[in-house]
Amino acid sequence: MSVFLTSLAIVVAVYVLIYYNVFKGSRCTSNVRFKGKTAIVTGGNTGIGKATAMELARRGARVVLACRNKQRAEAAVFDIRRESGNNEVVYMHLDLASLKSVRSFADTFLKTEPRLDLLINNAGMMGPGRTEDGFGMAFGVNHLGHFLLTCLLLERLKQAGRSRVVNVAALLHRLGTIDFATLSTHCDLVTGQSGWHSFRAYCHSKLCNVLFTRELANQLEGTGVTCYSLHPGVINTEFCRHMALWQRLLFLPFAKLFFLDAEAGAQTTLHCALQEGIEPLSGRYFSSCAVQELSAKARDDAVARKLWEVSERLSGLS
């Protein structure tokens, strides 16, 4: 029995060390208040989006939850208002799988909200399917919808002066590539709809997030608006709800043991949104609340520029 207990203690100790030193990540240390400022959080009704919105509300911000599901978004608004004590939390409908919806959201926001200080492009998905406009779901939601939303709100961001755009990417961008020929012929970055194709499409879309951020920083130079992309960590949220049942069952035990909860997963987003003094790092990529170096393909400014031009055309901006 003593051997068993000793072995169990060692296993638990190793798990704790790994969890808190490898998986748990760092915390945002900024004490900046956001009173009188307005933030948009896409996908702010669940997971790290909700945790991010909660913290911004606690700091006094007016927070707009930009979400597709009205019932879940309104429930999140209720929760955040109650827990933060801030009634300046509202829901506006946004379906990133519909460019018409993105335009409608931007139009409504610009007509009803006098300022925008922070845009957090947080929503993301992994799974098969097509958007309303015929694009692959991961490319359309994770990149193209957010690209259009950001472009439509840029003038309002510039009017606020020192404002920020934060794009939630992922470490898996390292496995991504951008094949413009495939995008042209399939309206997607992959050629199929299998589970493997869905995973690859997700990786490609996260590389799009990183490259979009780099080119956005170039476009915004001298305006007072800065932007950042980030890896939030490996998060135990509802992100994989689009997976098949057997995939979720296989995924769940690992998620419970090793993955970050939503609050821990929101820390790097909050760092990029709130930390003072990181303005010279506009366009850079963060993880664990610190700037990280990127691979050559994620620093390719020529590809970033081409992605911007193609995205303008596909979203109807040009």
Instruction: Out of 91, 202, 228, 285, pick the active-site residue.
Output: 202
- Token readout for 55 is 């913290």
202 noted as active-site residue: yes
Largest CA distance in the chain: 72
Question: Could you tell me if 40 and 64 are in contact, meaning their C-beta atoms sit under 8 angstroms apart?
Answer: yes
| Terminal Cα distance for the chain, rounded | 72
The amino acid sitting at 256 is: K
Distance between CA atoms of residues 279 and 164, nearest Å:
9
Distance between CA atoms of residues 118 and 275, nearest Å:
13
- Return contacts of 192-198, CB within 8 angstroms, 24+ apart: 193/128, 193/129, 194/128, 195/243, 195/244, 195/247, 197/128, 198/126, 198/127, 198/128, 198/138, 198/242
| Sheet of strand 89-93, all strands in order from the earlier edge strand to the far edge | 89-93, 62-67, 38-42, 118-121, 163-168, 225-231, 285-287, 290-292
Residue with tokens 């309303």: 132
The amino acid sitting at 15 is: Y
Distance between CA atoms of residues 271 and 288, nearest Å:
9
Distance between CA atoms of residues 303 and 211, nearest Å:
8
Residues designated as active site: 202
